[in-house]
Amino acid sequence: MQPLADVRVIAIEQFGAGPWGTLQLADLGAEVIKIEDPSSRGDVSRYVPPFQDGEASLFFETFNRNKRSVSLDLRHPDARGVFEDLVRVSDAVYSNLRGDQPERLGLTYDQLKHVNERIVCCSLSGFGMTGSRAKQGGYDYMMQGIAGWQSLTGGPDDPPTKSGISLVDLSGGYASAIAVLAGLWRARRDGVGCDCDISLLDTALHELGYFGTWAASRGYVPPRRSLSAHAVIFPFQNFPTADGWIVVACPKEKFWRQLCDAIERPELAEEYPSFADRDRRRDELEPILEEVFRARTSDEWLAVLATAGVPSAPVNDLEAALEEARIVEYEHAALGTVRQVASPLRLSGAEPPLRAAPERGADTEQVLVELCGYEPERVRELEAAGVFGTEKGAANG
Whether residue 50 has a cis bond before it, omega within 30° of 0: yes
User: Averaged over 93-121, what is the pLDDT?
Assistant: 98
Of the options 3.40.50.9100, 3.30.365.10, 3.40.50.10540, 3.40.50.970, the CATH number for the domain spanning 8-206+324-396 = 3.40.50.10540
User: Averaged over 255-264, what is the pLDDT?
Assistant: 98
Residue 206 is among the residues annotated as catalytic for this protein: no
Q: What are the backbone dihedrals phi and psi of residue 195, each rounded to the nearest 5 degrees, phi first? A: -100, 145
The percent of residues above 90 in pLDDT, for the chain, comes to: 96
User: Averaged over 270-286, what is the pLDDT?
Assistant: 96
Give residue 349's pLDDT.
87
CA angle 34, 370, 76 (to 5 degrees): 50
Q: Where residue 351 falls among pLDDT bands split at 50, 70, 90?
A: confident
- Per-residue pLDDT of 195-246, as tens digits, reads 999 999 999 999 999 999 999 999 999 999 999 999 999 999 999 999 999 9
Give residue 394's pLDDT.
39
Q: Is the confidence at residue 396, as pLDDT, over 60?
A: no
What dotted CATH number matches 226-240+245-314?
Answer: 3.30.1540.10
Domains of the chain by residue range: 8-206+324-396, 226-240+245-314
Give residue 280's pLDDT.
96
- Per-residue pLDDT of 140-199, as tens digits, reads 999 999 999 999 999 999 999 999 999 999 999 999 999 999 999 999 999 999 999 999
Q: What are the backbone dihedrals phi and psi of residue 310, each rounded to the nearest 5 degrees, phi first? A: -95, 125
Give residue 392's pLDDT.
39
User: Averaged over 272-287, what is the pLDDT?
Assistant: 96
Q: Where residue 1 falls among pLDDT bands split at 50, 70, 90?
A: confident
> What is the 8-class DSSP label of residue 295?
T
| CA-wise closest residue to 179 among 166, 191, 194 | 194
- Distances from the Cα of 114 to the Cαs of 76, 88, 181, in angstroms? 21, 9, 21
User: Averaged over 298-306, what is the pLDDT?
Assistant: 98
Q: Out of 76, 114, 206, 230, which one is annotated catalytic?
A: 230
CA angle 306, 312, 317 (to 5 degrees): 120
The model carries a pTM of: 0.94
Q: Is the confidence at residue 344, as pLDDT, over 70?
A: yes
Give residue 390's pLDDT.
73
CA angle 123, 85, 91 (to 5 degrees): 45
Cα torsion through 99, 47, 379, 371, rounded to 10: -60
CB 274 within 8 A of CB 253: yes
What is the chain's mean pLDDT, rounded? 96
Q: Is the confidence at residue 397, as pLDDT, over 60?
A: no
Give residue 151's pLDDT.
95
139 or 396, which is more confident: 139
Give residue 44's pLDDT.
96
